Chains A and B, each alone.
Chain A
Amino acid sequence: MLKILKYSFFDLIRSRWSYVYLLFYLLLGFVLLFLNEDLSKAVITLMNVIIILVPLIGTIFGVMYYYDSKEFTELLLAQPVKRSSIFIGQYLGVSLSLVMSLVIGLGLPFVFYGLFQSSAIFDFTLLLVTGALLTLAFTAIAFNIALYNENKIKGFSYAILMWLFMAVIYDGLFLMFLVIFDTYPLDKFSLIATMLNPIDLSRILILLKLDIAALLGYTGAIFKEFFGTNTGLFSALGALMIWVVLPVFNIYRKSKKKDF
């Protein structure tokens, strides 16, 4: 698995798109930090960009890489290597190269800004950890979608729809539900509904840490009320990790049975 991870990682970090992705974050980081007086405002803006963009890029790269390397995967499948190590290795190659772009792209501006002297270092670290987990989760989901769909166009459409649902539609439905049923006690419902969407989960996670959960309104308040800041933080982080583990486990399971 490590050998496959190594080579797909090398392959990907040399691709033009990895550089574009890296440059985007560099630019974003520098602009936000040096044109913005307030550090926590910069972190919030970054969060808003990250929780939408990171899943999108993870999804697209995941699906594209899978379909693009299909023939090469067949060559690998004919080698004396376990199937699961091929797919998990490729998955880690894609997601880790994306995580690297994110961490370097946002990390460098912050280092230049003098992050290590500032108190925002924990907020910022959490932002990067959340971004990394979101990358891992959405790349894994994208690999799952691609594994279940032989047809490239179909797989690609499902993946984009999945992202659209999680990033945009889900919140709308959630809100509608809250408005329609506002006479009922909805705290448990909103807790569970938040856990079921990694993007919402990440938002809560960062806002809880920044101690401005009130900004998020209802859900944030409930999270805080239920867990208190620290417990809430860790349970949200744990739930986010489940979002990584489950799809990865399914890659392992599905790849064992699939015909190529």
Chain B
Amino acid sequence: MIKIDNLHKKFGKNEVLKGVDLNIPEKGIFAVLGPNGSGKTTLIKSILGMVVPDKGKIFIKGKETQQNGAYRSDIDYLPQIANFPNNLGVKELIKMIKDLRGVNADYDELIKVFKLEPFLNKKLNNLSGGTKQKVNIVLTFMFDSQIVILDEPTTGLDPVALIHLKNLIKKEKEKGKTILVTSHIMSFVEEISDEIVFILEGKIYFKGNLQELREKTGEADFEHAIANLLMKDHA
């Protein structure tokens, strides 16, 4: 579904990605993990075409990604920070993104699940951080694309919303979608992900499922296994 070949990216002198090769098959939830500054966000932004790679190629559904961004109609993306035009209402924003995509969007159900009805006509700058994140989630999941990319989806959510989010992700998985998640909340990752992609210093350091991770590190607990991966290299 997503294939990445020898991806390099430098920001000034800072080499963030140093030759990433990654093959993400169809179906399943893939967690992209790594310490701060390891290149997770850069990797995701490269897939989306927001960062222009120095070297390397990215293929989505077997086709190389193009400058004009038409391939992005196959991807739903949840950005890390939810910030919207201050003077638009929630409803207008939903309509705007739907307009831009030019496809059908199914948001009534999502609005109900996240209890956003009272905010529909409110201006976005009057909403709290958590409510904005809920709007963000609605904007992402209202489309029915093959690939879903979630960058820190849990930010600012209350426990109830978090449960709804997990259900939503699982539902999308059952539809046979490819879902890419980054998160620093290890319990969340452990609960939802099928496979872990661990990035360290700009390279793929580990790729496999939870069982393989436990075997490799010799730690039964997921959080400790990840910490183990981190410490071994930085000790």
Contact = CB atoms under 8 A, between A and B. Distances in A.
Interface of A: 3-4, 7-8, 10-12, 14-15, 68-72, 74-83, 256-260
23 contacts: A3-B100, A7-B92, A10-B88, A10-B92, A11-B86, A11-B88, A14-B123, A69-B83, A71-B82, A74-B79, A74-B81, A75-B84, A77-B50, A78-B77, A79-B72, A80-B72, A80-B73, A80-B101, A83-B69, A257-B52, A258-B52, A259-B50, A260-B50
A82 B49 CA distance: 11
Interface residues of B, number: 33
Nearest to A7: B96
Given A69-B85, A71-B83, A74-B81, 7 more contacts: A10-B87, A14-B123, A15-B87, A74-B79, A75-B139, A78-B50, A80-B69
Nearest to B99: A3
B79 A75 contact: yes
Nearest to A16: B87
A78 B99 CA distance: 14
Contact of A259 (B11, B70, B75, B97): B11
Contacts of A10: 87-88, 92
B70 A79 contact: no
A128 B101 CA distance: 37
Contacts of A14: 87, 123
A83 B97 CA distance: 15
Contacts of A7: 85, 88, 92, 96
A72 B48 contact: no
Chain A contact surface mostly = helix
- Which of A10, A11, A258 has its CB near the most chain B CB atoms (within 10 A)? A11
B51 A78 contact: no
A71 B81 contact: yes
B104 interface: no
B45 interface: yes
Interface string B79-118: 1011111111000100011011100000000000000000
Contacts of B52: 257-259
A52 B66 CA distance: 44
Contacts of A69: 83, 85
Contacts of A3: 96, 99-100
Contacts of A12: 87
B71 A75 contact: no
Contacts of A79: 69, 72, 97, 100-101
Nearest to B81: A71
B68 interface: yes
B67 interface: yes
Contacts of B83: 69-72
A8 B93 CA distance: 11
A235 to B, nearest CB: 38
B97 A71 contact: no
